[in-house]
């Protein structure tokens, strides 16, 4: 009897033990118990949410480094990070993420230095867990002591509430929600370069606005004072079906975007951007860097050869003067930058903004030690912005009316004229020109052959045909009937008609006159001399020669209205091209 009781009791104990083991195994994925840790050396281990939508673990740093470094991050299925400890603090392969018995979560590197701490020691934290919305929570019983949703880094995911006291950060950039419902992007916590208010139809004072991203892709602000949420933006794929995560992220380029990622894909697609013109992001090209566009992308470069990249491997790090103004042995002069402005987002003191014409704007700055650079808006406002020595962020675009000036230690050395960006075009153009020449000449000879054929066909029975061979007849045709001068004229006209600049091409009437020999044909410019736009004697002579033909030459702006240092001494005809090249050479830069 006693034995039986004993056995059944041990059975019961065994069953109870197995049951509890099974239960703890099922919940192990969710709950992280104190004392456990993750190692950077073993990136395959991670703490996952119950249905594996999100997991917390080490991922390789982006961009990759050598030796490899790691970031402890919460990632969406497929490996898309949406939160990280210490906003992306990197550790070596000896790094660990520890959930200590004291209830704090800590990132420690290989030499034992604490790089980040949740600071929840002695707050009674007994458990940690990550849920299926991507929130990492530290709890005392059922009370949330700390959560990753309340301590965002650079991203917001659906279900996460972003309130006035919170901030997204990426490098020097930050994103904030203001109490009145405005959304702002800031550089260095002061320069607001994007500020979007609520729809003007929302006419209430908000009490505690909350920004949220709905899982279907709508970014909106809710507030107790609002009857319905105020919509800020729609993701371009909003409400599209599929297992998709949409999230808001402040990029290292200072832009705020909505991205979407299909579950398991590990890839992200941009769906909305706050700043549509990337070059408008303050400081995108670093201090004294100038942002402009190649065909598609924003590129960073320096203003002239009086400057050099701070980091030749990363043009976004900005530029510096080769010779500082204070060390300048020669005279300090102004570098003139056409179609360029220095971004002048507030705060600007009133004394830094005044009314002045272009040359006054330039001269005032040159004469003042408190001024380092200036921008004349030339947009009809007559405003001149004076920039004190400090961070300068430039934007260059051929369509921009503003002119800017910056002090450099003379003499001004413009950027080299050749640039990778235009080299391809030049080749293309040369190829096109050659194709045209070959086709025209082939057509001429084809026509002659055809005429010869006709002549042979109709005249072979005539007596004059005699014993001459067809070949000889053709030669005769070329030697006698077709004037070599005429062929030469045709070829010369061809060269005129394939001028790259439409304004250099003659009118149809003129073409006929030239072909018929009524008008004397001037020597067309050597395509190469014009293409390369050298300011050499040849191309100047050429431009002089063709000026009677070109009406554009008279209307072309005078050289002085272009960057004087670059164009001085070049005839108006080539100045247009040089401006183009100045544009291109501004973006001459190292890899992005
Ligand atoms: C760990 O971090 C400390 C402090 O930042 C640093 O001095 C040390 O070099 C780091 N060790 C490794 C192995 O990265
Ligand atoms: C934790 O406390 C330390 C020291 O006060 C502080 O430097 C650190 O920023 C805090 N960490 C967090 C995540 O708030
Ligand atoms: C943890 O929670 C319990 C119950 O809510 C509370 O009594 C206790 O003071 C908390 N511990 C700390 C350290 O806050
Ligand atoms: C995971 O759980 C979340 C929250 O319950 C749910 O929205 C999502 O659809 C689930 N995903 C899968 C693949 O089960
Ligand atoms: C976000 O705010 C809503 C409404 O105030 C609330 O119901 C929800 O629990 C909050 N979510 C989190 C993760 O705090
Ligand atoms: C809010 O944003 C609007 C632009 O949408 C701007 O005109 C207004 O000045 C901003 N308000 C504040 C207080 O920044
Ligand atoms: C502002 O809200 C009104 C009414 O909700 C809407 O018709 C209008 O399109 C909104 N304007 C903007 C710029 O979103
Ligand atoms: C918002 O607050 C300001 C100042 O407190 C007040 O003058 C204004 O009338 C309020 N607007 C509304 C719509 O309540
Ligand atoms: C524009 O610049 C980007 C980044 O530097 C580069 O990847 C791209 O190939 C460039 N495009 C052209 C047309 O030059």
Q: What is the pLDDT of residue 582?
A: 38
User: What's the CA-to-centroid distance between 168 and ligand 1, angstroms?
Assistant: 26
**What is the span of the domain harbouring residue 142?**
31-147
- Other Cβ atoms less than 10 A from the Cβ of 168: the count is 21
User: What's the CA-to-centroid distance between 199 and ligand 7, angstroms?
Assistant: 6
- Residue 53 CA from chain centroid, whole number: 31
96 and 45 in a common domain? yes
346 lines ligand 6 (CB under 6 A): no
Contact in structure between 229 and 221 (CB atoms under 8 Å): yes
Q: Show pLDDT as tens, one digit a residue, over the chain (592 residues).
A: 444 444 454 454 444 444 443 333 333 336 888 999 999 998 788 999 999 999 999 999 988 898 999 999 999 999 999 999 988 899 999 999 999 999 999 999 999 999 999 999 989 999 999 999 999 999 999 999 999 999 999 999 999 999 999 999 999 999 999 999 999 999 999 899 999 999 888 878 899 999 999 999 999 999 999 999 999 999 999 999 999 999 999 999 999 999 999 999 999 999 999 999 999 999 999 999 999 999 889 999 999 999 999 999 999 999 999 999 999 998 999 999 999 999 988 777 888 899 999 999 999 999 999 999 999 988 888 899 999 988 999 999 999 999 999 999 989 999 886 343 333 344 444 555 565 556 666 766 677 776 666 666 665 555 444 444 445 444 444 485 556 777 677 767 666 656 554 445 566 656 656 666 666 666 655 544 333 333 332 222 223 233 322 333 333 333 333 333 332 333 333 333 333 333 334 444 444 4
| Domain-embedded: residue 522 | no
Residue nearest to atom 2 of ligand 1 (CA): 113
What total number of domains does the chain contain? 2
Domain stops at, among 230, 245, 275: 275
Q: What is the pLDDT of residue 21?
A: 39
| Domain-embedded: residue 259 | yes
| Domain-embedded: residue 491 | no
Domain stops at, among 147, 179, 205: 147
C-alpha 425/C-alpha 431 separation (Å) is 10
Global model pTM greater than 0.85: no
Mutate to test the pocket of ligand 3, among 123, 127, 141 (most ligand atoms within 8 A of CB): 141
User: What's the CA-to-centroid distance between 205 and ligand 8, angstroms?
Assistant: 6
Residue nearest to atom 14 of ligand 1 (CA): 92
182 lines ligand 6 (CB under 6 A): yes
Mutate to test the pocket of ligand 3, among 140, 145, 146 (most ligand atoms within 8 A of CB): 140
User: What's the CA-to-centroid distance between 51 and ligand 4, angstroms?
Assistant: 6
CATH number (domain holding residue 52)? 2.90.10.10
Q: Taking Cα atoms as reference points, which of 538, 536, 537, 547 lies closest to residue 572?
A: 547
Closest ligand to C-alpha of residue 206 is 8
196 lines ligand 6 (CB under 6 A): yes
Q: What is the pLDDT of residue 473?
A: 46
Residue 411's SS3 state is: coil
76 and 39 in a common domain? yes
294 lines ligand 9 (CB under 6 A): yes
150 lines ligand 2 (CB under 6 A): no
Strands 162-163 and 210-213: antiparallel
| Domain-embedded: residue 534 | no
Which atom of ligand 6 has the smallest separation from the CA of 195? 2
43 and 121 in a common domain? yes
187 and 129 in a common domain? no
C-alpha 558/C-alpha 567 separation (Å) is 10
C-alpha 374/C-alpha 356 separation (Å) is 11
128 and 174 in a common domain? no
Closest ligand to C-alpha of residue 184 is 6
Domain stops at, among 147, 168, 197: 147
User: What's the CA-to-centroid distance between 421 and ligand 9, angstroms?
Assistant: 8
Mutate to test the pocket of ligand 4, among 48, 76, 132 (most ligand atoms within 8 A of CB): 132
197 lines ligand 6 (CB under 6 A): yes
249 and 231 in a common domain? yes
Tokens of 230: 């105020």
Closest ligand to C-alpha of residue 157 is 5
Cα pseudo-dihedral 282, 288, 293, 296, rounded to 10: -70
| Domain-embedded: residue 510 | no
Mutate to test the pocket of ligand 6, among 182, 185, 196, 221 (most ligand atoms within 8 A of CB): 182
DSSP 92-151: -TT-EEEE-TTS-EEEE-TTS-EEEE---TTTT--EEEE-TTS-EEEEETTEEEEETTTS
Q: What is the pLDDT of residue 572?
A: 33
């Amino acid at each position: 009897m006693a034995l039986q009781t004993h056995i059944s009791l041990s059975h019961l104990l065994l069953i109870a033990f197995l049951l509890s083991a099974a239960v703890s195994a099922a919940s192990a994925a969710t709950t992280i118990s104190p004392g456990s840790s993750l190692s950077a050396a073993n990136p395959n281990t991670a703490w996952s949410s119950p249905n594996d939508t999100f997991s917390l673990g080490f991922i390789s740093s982006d961009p990759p480094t050598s030796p490899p470094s790691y970031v402890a991050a919460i990632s969406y299925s497929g490996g898309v990070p949406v939160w990280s400890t210490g906003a992306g603090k990197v550790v070596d392969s000896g790094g660990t993420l520890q959930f200590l018995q004291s209830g704090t979560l800590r990132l420690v590197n290989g030499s034992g230095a604490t790089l980040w701490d949740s600071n929840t020691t002695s707050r009674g934290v007994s458990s940690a867990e990550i849920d299926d919305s991507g929130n990492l929570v530290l709890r005392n019983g059922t009370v949330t002591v700390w959560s990753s949703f309340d301590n965002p880094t650079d991203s917001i995911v659906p279900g996460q509430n972003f309130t006035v006291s919170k901030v997204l950060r990426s490098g020097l950039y930050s994103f904030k929600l203001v109490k009145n419902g405005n959304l702002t992007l800031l550089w260095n916590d002061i320069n607001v370069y994007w500020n979007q208010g609520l729809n003007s139809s929302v006419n209430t004072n908000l009490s505690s606005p909350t920004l949220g991203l709905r899982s279907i892709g709508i970014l909106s602000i809710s507030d107790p004072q609002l009857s319905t949420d105020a919509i800020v933006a729609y993701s371009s794929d909003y409400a599209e079906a599929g297992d998709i995560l949409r999230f808001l992220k402040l990029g290292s380029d200072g832009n705020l975007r909505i991205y979407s990622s299909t579950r398991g894909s590990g890839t992200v697609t941009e769906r909305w951007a706050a700043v549509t013109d990337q070059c408008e992001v303050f400081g995108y090209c670093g201090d004294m860097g100038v942002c402009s566009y190649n065909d598609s992308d924003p590129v960073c470069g320096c203003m002239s050869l009086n400057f050099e990249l701070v980091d030749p491997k990363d043009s976004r790090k900005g530029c510096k003067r080769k010779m500082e103004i204070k060390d300048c042995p020669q005279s300090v002069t102004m570098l003139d930058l056409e179609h360029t402005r220095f971004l002048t987002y507030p705060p600007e003191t009133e004394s830094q903004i005044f009314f002045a014409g272009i040359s006054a704007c330039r001269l005032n700055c040159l004469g003042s030690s408190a001024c380092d650079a200036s921008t004349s808006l030339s947009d009809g406002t007559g405003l001149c912005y004076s920039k004190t020595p400090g961070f300068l962020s430039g934007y260059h675009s051929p369509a921009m009316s503003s002119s800017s000036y910056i002090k450099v230690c003379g003499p001004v050395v413009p950027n080299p004229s050749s640039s990778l960006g235009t080299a391809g075009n030049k080749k293309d153009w040369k190829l096109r020109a050659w194709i045209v020449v070959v086709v025209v000449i082939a057509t001429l000879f084809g026509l002659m052959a055809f005429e010869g054929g006709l002549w042979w066909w109709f005249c072979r029975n005539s007596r004059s045909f005699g014993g001459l061979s067809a070949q000889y007849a053709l030669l005769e045709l070329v030697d006698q009937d077709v004037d070599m001068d005429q062929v030469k004229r045709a070829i010369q006209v061809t060269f005129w008609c394939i001028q790259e600049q439409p304004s250099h091409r003659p009118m149809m009437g003129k073409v006929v006159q030239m072909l018929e020999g009524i008008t004397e044909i001037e020597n067309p410019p050597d395509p190469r001399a014009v293409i390369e736009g050298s300011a050499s004697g040849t191309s100047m002579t050429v431009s002089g020669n063709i000026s009677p033909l070109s009406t554009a030459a008279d209307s072309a702006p005078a050289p002085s209205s272009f960057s004087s240092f670059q164009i001085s001494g070049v005839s108006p005809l080539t100045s247009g091209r040089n401006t183009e090249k100045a544009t291109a050479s501004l973006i001459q830069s190292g890899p992005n």
